[in-house]
Amino acid sequence: MPWITYTHISHTNSGKKDNATPLFDWGKYYEKDGRIVMPISVQAHHSFVDGIHMGQFADMLQNVRKPAQISNPTEDRMVNYASRFLGTRYRLGASGPSAFDCSGFTSYVYKNFGITLNRSSRSQFLQGEKVSVNNLRPGDLMFFSSRSAGRGNVGHVAMVVSVDPANGTCKFIHASVKHGVTYQSFPDNGYYSRNFLGARRILGTSLDATAQASK
């Protein structure tokens, strides 16, 4: 039968755990209503595991819980702090607190927690660590192209405030040209989905460690 560990599902043809090889990682699954859900494409590709039909294997997985992510206590405080500026007007080049542009807003929020971000969205895209859109956490920065920057070039930045892994969605806060500081759902099947370029993690990286060490 498959060997089940905290981090991956593996299988073995010999029946010995030492010979087990990783088969699935948790990134391909998510929990919904307390049950682990796997994509149809994965089920079709791996129809049998050591002679056990995938339908039976899936049933076995329902009793396996994905370990909870260890939260960074700064995440909640950062999200709450950012929400104080909802409705603040947008102004190009402004870095707060009476007005912000997009990178001025993210810089201002992070500065409150002792972390220095570069001033432009393009240069912030070079900071921290790359993170998959499927692995976002509150505090992560999301980057987009813009009309002024041109297709494929970073021209806008936002900060993740909540994530719903079951639905593959998140919500971010940003300084919008039209609406000032506001929330936005992602994906939106529109402007932000079309212009998304990538995400970066700052909390828990060397930038964060440097800030903590200086306190």
Residues identified as active-site: 102, 156, 174
Instruction: Identify which of 209, 32, 62, 28 has the alpha carbon closest to the alpha carbon of residue 135.
Output: 28
Rounded Cα distance, 192 and 138, in Å: 18
Helix (H) or strand (E) holding 206, with range, is helix 206-213
Cβ(99)–Cβ(163) below 8 Å = no
CA-atom Rg of the chain in angstroms: 21
d(CA 87, CA 97): 11
H helix intervals, 48-201: 54-61, 73-83, 102-111, 121-124, 191-195
